Structure 1
Amino acid sequence: MNPDARSADWWKSAVVYQIYPRSFLDSNGDGIGDIPGITSKLDYLADLGIDVLWLSPVYSSPMDDNGYDISNYEDVDPLFGSLTDLDDLIAGAHERGIKLVMDLVVNHTSDEHTWFQESRDPASPKADWYWWRPPREGFEGGTEGAEPNNWASVFSGSAWQYDERRGEYFLHVFSKKQPDLNWENPEVRDAVYAMMRRWVERGVDGFRMDVINLISKDPSLPDGTRQPGKKYASSEGAVANGPRLHEFLAEMNREVGLSAQNLLTVGEMPGSTIELAREVTDPARDELNMVFTFEHVGLDEQTGLGKWALLDLELPVLKSNLAEWQRGLADVGWNSLYLDNHDQPRAVSRFGDDSPEHRVSSAKTLATVLHLHRGTPYVYQGEELGMTNSYFTSIEQYQDLEAINWYREELEAGRDSADLLRSLAAKGRDNARTPMHWDDSEHAGFTTGEPWLPAHPNKDHINAAAAVADEDSVFHHFRRLIALRHADPVVVDGTFDLLLPEDEQLWVFTRTLGDDVRLVLANCSSEPAKVEASDVPDLAAATLLLGTHEGDGLELAPWESRIYAL
């Protein structure tokens, strides 16, 4: 796409649609989604009205972590197609006015990347391209306790792997097949920027940057504090938001021309604070457009015990957190808005009510609330259909490395398997990775072969064909929300004010731009709710812009929501 077609701040009024290629649509019957499958559904995406397609990784990969372990940044894995297929997808998207954003995974590579293979030789020019360290003093490499520090991998076990060829350990914050790049080395950074420039030249319109706030680490690699009963310590405090993060992001922006070419940039930044997000997204600093916050998706876990320690989430807590981010980035920076992605369970199962009675209404109302906050909304494939969690009942059904490793580690520690499976059913990443539901045929129209993950049985009534044909479906509610964003400047630029913050059923807020006010009333519960007239602006002269139900007045049905112009 010609950079002239990307106006300044175009992404503020845009809606992004995330595709997890492995699970979107399989065109050749091998059970794995691919790029030609995506291209064949561009008209579906255009009908939904989205502006940007974010493509999760399709690069060459051994697939240890479903493509987030990249062995060649500049080629497409044969599982997904070819570079020609990708060129066709970019061209087809641009013909429909849809921009395309690539996933950028540069905190780590695959251990099969030529960079890492060369780095295993201490005499190689790339010897310092990764975080190599000798065994702890007094220990022999590969023995218990010899790791350079006590950090845990996000995917369980130690964050260090001994390499006999080199006689040293390499750092891997994630899988042992995902060694971390050493961004302290300017040659590493130059190689990454050159690769990014080539993708921009190929036509991509921006980058979603995987765990980008981990690229700057505390060079001293200090030991962490272990939780009671844990063999290893969390590394997050030492590997996230390091001392050179701003420097690296500004350098990347400058060297690749991210701001100069009006490219969309969003950084996945676990552990980011509002203050850090303000700095990173401050236009004056030329770093990133927006970041993915993780605070709101950590509210349903017990403090300090990780994502698998389930906690019931109360509505005032969720409202308060998102409102804090709205206020924090109101005058500087920009918010990304999401409830759902490839790393999170399905939004309607997690934040809504996925029972047959309330699934459609709760999926619509969650979308209403999210899309009317200030920021750029992200729709994850199937969210626009109200797809639900998979609710697997045995560990053998899971494919995700994080889930499998955690289950085995906790089982060995004596935990009850039923409790572990309950956590996985609620929070496992495979919930979002089951095949997209296109129709009610075998395997939901995803593949003519055997799918890599099974389609949910509820594909018989939750599928794209049925939703597109039903004007009252979740799909068409998303379509109307997206159209409203495109047509109404208040939705894009209006200030945000939360009303009734302590109400346990109602999510009520206003968006204001000059004299124009929009009021959102949402009953985020499975019981009727009443809005007190004294608690909201006068609705006598209000115009209903969009609603989920036929009703009016101040009585709201379960999971009913409305958007008014005052």
Structure 2
Amino acid sequence: MGKLTLSLVVLALVGLTSLASGATDWWEDSSLYQIYPRSFKDSDGNGIGDINGITEGLDYLKEIGMTATWLSPIFKSPMADNGYDISNFTDIDPIFGTLEDFDVMLKKAKAIGIKIILDFVPNHSSNECEWFEKSINREDGYEDFYVWADGKDDPQNPGKKLPPSNWEGVFGGSMWKWNEKRQQFYLHQFLEEQPDFNFRNKQVREKMLDVLKFWLDRGVDGFRIDAVPHMFEKVNDDGSYPDEDPTNHYYTQDQYETVELLYEWREFLEAYRKKNGGETRVLLAEAYSPLTMLDKYIGNGTHQGAQIPFNFALWGLNLTTNARDVQGMVDGWMSFMWKKHQTANWVTGNHDMGRVVDRVGENKKDLIHFLLTGLPGVTVTYYGEEIGMSNVVTCENCSYVETRSFSRSPFQWNDGESAGFSSSNETWLPVAEDYKSVNVERLRSLPRSTLKMFVALQKLKTSSAFKAFKNKGGFSYGAISENVFQIIR
């Protein structure tokens, strides 16, 4: 396989500054940065990143040209799934700090012009959530707060119940868990410690709007919605649940009711802005769904949904990817979503995916930044990608759940103790072995380092030539050979 290169031709579009001014909303060509709070910066020396550490690191985000940062969950949680099992949706887990710490962080972010986007995890709660306990006990108003079912009679064992359907969870095994106290099964699309809410219950929807309002009132700029496709499941007319092909998930993902729920949340955010003023509050949707479904999640012409349904097409980048492969990855979004909605976003990594450097190779890491920045729309940078951080293998013969930790190692600030992430030499995950050479402090000092190139590209992204002019031209792309992918702005 030949060497993949990328040609970025920047056209000086003289006189187009006025076209860019006011032509786009703040998020449309923004640079977003995902922080995994456990791993960004530890302020108190316990080996775990925290909110005060994020506050300390905000100046760095400004330095590298970020518009906003979205934070993986920082809410109260037993941490069965590192915070994606929430026990209190309106409070901060003590390992990260307090609500007061959050307010201080938000105040600094606003002062320096960095927007804060929170992870919103509405599909499920922790099984230690007060609401789940009330639902188990069938307390008034909480009887159907979660998805409960009687199950099927077991012909081999009279008196024993089988799961209501053959549905398999994201992490394997049945989606159904028997609760002895309630004498019913509850649904959990993810871990059994993460029971699914019943969004056909009006009270659940109202509670989630209360959660959104709580954080909007504190001043956040939007929400990244976790696990969007999983919010609803198919129910037969008689109340039973249909079996499905485990490889298809036709009945347990991307139900149209989920689309309508996103429209409801977008309407709520728009009404909040109309009442309280300020800039647009955004919705980012995590949905590993086909383009035809992402299209619906954005809007249907009469209703609007998420401004940014994440585009994971570039996750296919690997060691053997050539320029024509890249064109195929880009074409899908540009020929459909850009053409229809005039919006685009590009993602190469997150907390569930191995780092891009390990997928494409060390020699191509800078090309990836050129690719993301050269394409129109939103770029999403997972913390550490701007310096070329790599995976840290933490186990052998790992399960899927365990491999997710490979890309969550502590951020590499310098070549000191624990890479400058913590004053402790014991961190919640190991620091990568290459931290002496791959760290912010060192790369700042090198004239053509990955970090320097990243920062230069972010500055270029804010120029009038790179603004999202919608249909005003000045942009083209394509593979001009097997080895060269060209972008013209």
Query: Which category describes the TM-score, using the shorter chain as reference length?
Result: 0.7 to 0.9
1:250-274 per-position Cα deviation (integer Å, ceiling 9, x unaligned): 112223437755112110012x222
Kept in 2: contact 1:20–1:342 (CA 8 A): yes
* One of 236, 247, 257 as aligned partner of 1:244: 257
Higher mean C-alpha displacement, 433-442 vs 144-153: 144-153
Residues 259 and 485 of structure 1: is their aligned pair in 2 closer, same or farther, counting only changes over 3 Å?
farther
1:485-532 per-position Cα deviation (integer Å, ceiling 9, x unaligned): 11124442366544237x43222233xxxxxxx2xxxxxxxxxxxxxx
* One of 172, 181, 193 as aligned partner of 1:156: 172
1:442-461 per-position Cα deviation (integer Å, ceiling 9, x unaligned): 32111122101100110010
For residue 459 of structure 2, what is the aligned residue in structure 1?
483
Where structure 2 has 5 or more consecutive residues not aligned to the other structure, the ranges are 1-21
For residue 471 of structure 1, what is the aligned residue in structure 2?
447
How far is the alpha carbon of 1:318 from its aligned partner? 3.8
Give the counterpart letter for 1:455 in structure 2. Answer: V
Kept in 2: contact 1:34–1:80 (CA 8 A): yes
Please tell me whether residue 403 in structure 1 is matched to residue 401 in structure 2. Answer: yes
The CA distance in 1 between the partners of 2:129 and 2:337, in whole Å, is: 38
Kept in 1: contact 2:169–2:175 (CA 8 A): yes
The 3-state SS of whatever aligns with 1:276 is: helix
The CA distance in 2 between the partners of 1:507 and 1:32, in whole Å, is: 41
For residue 369 of structure 2, what is the aligned residue in structure 1?
367
For residue 506 of structure 1, what is the aligned residue in structure 2?
484
Match runs of 1:314-333 below 5 Å? 315-333=323-341
Show structure 1 runs of 4+ deviating over 4 A.
139-145, 258-261, 311-315
Higher mean C-alpha displacement, 172-181 vs 465-474: 465-474
The CA distance in 2 between the partners of 1:437 and 1:143, in whole Å, is: 57
The CA distance in 2 between the partners of 1:31 and 1:141, in whole Å, is: 50
Residues 234 and 150 of structure 1: is their aligned pair in 2 closer, same or farther, counting only changes over 3 Å?
farther
How far is the alpha carbon of 1:140 from its aligned partner? 9.2
Where structure 1 has 5 or more consecutive residues not aligned to the other structure, the ranges are 1-5, 226-232, 301-310, 405-427, 511-517, 519-566
Kept in 2: contact 1:35–1:86 (CA 8 A): yes
Match runs of 1:79-98 below 5 Å? 79-98=95-114
Query: How many aligned positions are there?
Result: 453
% of aligned pairs identical? 32
Please tell me whether residue 222 in structure 1 is matched to residue 227 in structure 2. Answer: no
Match runs of 1:100-179 below 5 Å? 100-138=116-154, 146-179=162-195
How far is the alpha carbon of 1:312 from its aligned partner? 5.9
How far is the alpha carbon of 1:148 from its aligned partner? 1.1
The CA distance in 2 between the partners of 1:275 and 1:163, in whole Å, is: 38
1:171-225 per-position Cα deviation (integer Å, ceiling 9, x unaligned): 1111100111111111101110111011111000000110123213222332122
1:254-296 per-position Cα deviation (integer Å, ceiling 9, x unaligned): 23437755112110012x2222222322475221101013444
Please tell me whether residue 446 in structure 1 is matched to residue 444 in structure 2. Answer: no
Kept in 1: contact 2:199–2:231 (CA 8 A): yes
The 3-state SS of whatever aligns with 1:238 is: coil
Residues 112 and 339 of structure 1: is their aligned pair in 2 closer, same or farther, counting only changes over 3 Å?
same
Please tell me whether residue 198 in structure 1 is matched to residue 211 in structure 2. Answer: no
Please tell me whether residue 274 in structure 1 is matched to residue 252 in structure 2. Answer: no
The CA distance in 1 between the partners of 2:29 and 2:153, in whole Å, is: 55
> Normalising by the residue count of structure 2, what TM-score does the alignment of the two structures yield?
0.87
How far is the alpha carbon of 1:441 from its aligned partner? 1.7
The 3-state SS of whatever aligns with 1:330 is: helix
Give the counterpart letter for 2:420 in structure 1. Answer: G
Give the counterpart letter for 1:146 in structure 2. Answer: L
Residues 142 and 332 of structure 1: is their aligned pair in 2 closer, same or farther, counting only changes over 3 Å?
farther
The CA distance in 1 between the partners of 2:312 and 2:297, in whole Å, is: 15
For residue 34 of structure 1, what is the aligned residue in structure 2?
50
The CA distance in 2 between the partners of 1:486 and 1:44, in whole Å, is: 18
Kept in 2: contact 1:139–1:145 (CA 8 A): no
Match runs of 1:239-318 below 5 Å? 239-257=252-270, 260=274, 262-270=280-288, 272-282=289-299, 284-297=302-315, 313=321, 315-318=323-326
The 3-state SS of whatever aligns with 2:256 is: coil
Kept in 1: contact 2:327–2:478 (CA 8 A): no
Residues 141 and 291 of structure 1: is their aligned pair in 2 closer, same or farther, counting only changes over 3 Å?
farther
How far is the alpha carbon of 1:482 from its aligned partner? 1.3
Please tell me whether residue 339 in structure 1 is matched to residue 318 in structure 2. Answer: no
How far is the alpha carbon of 1:79 from its aligned partner? 0.4
Residues 239 and 315 of structure 1: is their aligned pair in 2 closer, same or farther, counting only changes over 3 Å?
farther
The 3-state SS of whatever aligns with 1:218 is: coil
RMSD: 2.5
The CA distance in 1 between the partners of 2:200 and 2:482, in whole Å, is: 48
The CA distance in 2 between the partners of 1:347 and 1:435, in whole Å, is: 16
Give the counterpart letter for 2:448 in structure 1. Answer: D
Give the counterpart letter for 1:280 in structure 2. Answer: Y
Give the counterpart letter for 1:251 in structure 2. Answer: E
The CA distance in 1 between the partners of 2:429 and 2:337, in whole Å, is: 39
> Normalising by the residue count of structure 1, what TM-score does the alignment of the two structures yield?
0.75
For residue 227 of structure 2, what is the aligned residue in structure 1?
211
Residues 299 and 134 of structure 1: is their aligned pair in 2 closer, same or farther, counting only changes over 3 Å?
farther
How far is the alpha carbon of 1:474 from its aligned partner? 1.2
The CA distance in 2 between the partners of 1:156 and 1:316, in whole Å, is: 35
Kept in 2: contact 1:259–1:286 (CA 8 A): no
Give the counterpart letter for 2:243 in structure 1. Answer: D
The CA distance in 2 between the partners of 1:444 and 1:380, in whole Å, is: 18
The CA distance in 2 between the partners of 1:245 and 1:456, in whole Å, is: 39
Q: Give the structure, 1 or 2, with the largest relative contact order (CA under 8 Å, sep 6 or more).
A: 2
How far is the alpha carbon of 1:135 from its aligned partner? 2.0
The 3-state SS of whatever aligns with 1:236 is: coil
Give the counterpart letter for 1:188 in structure 2. Answer: V
Give the counterpart letter for 2:468 in structure 1. Answer: V
For residue 76 of structure 1, what is the aligned residue in structure 2?
92
The CA distance in 2 between the partners of 1:293 and 1:330, in whole Å, is: 11
* One of 355, 359, 380 as aligned partner of 1:378: 380
For residue 16 of structure 2, what is the aligned residue in structure 1?
none
How far is the alpha carbon of 1:83 from its aligned partner? 0.4
The CA distance in 1 between the partners of 2:176 and 2:200, in whole Å, is: 18
Match runs of 1:513-524 below 5 Å? 518=489
The CA distance in 2 between the partners of 1:497 and 1:69, in whole Å, is: 43
Residues 280 and 85 of structure 1: is their aligned pair in 2 closer, same or farther, counting only changes over 3 Å?
same
How far is the alpha carbon of 1:298 from its aligned partner? 5.5
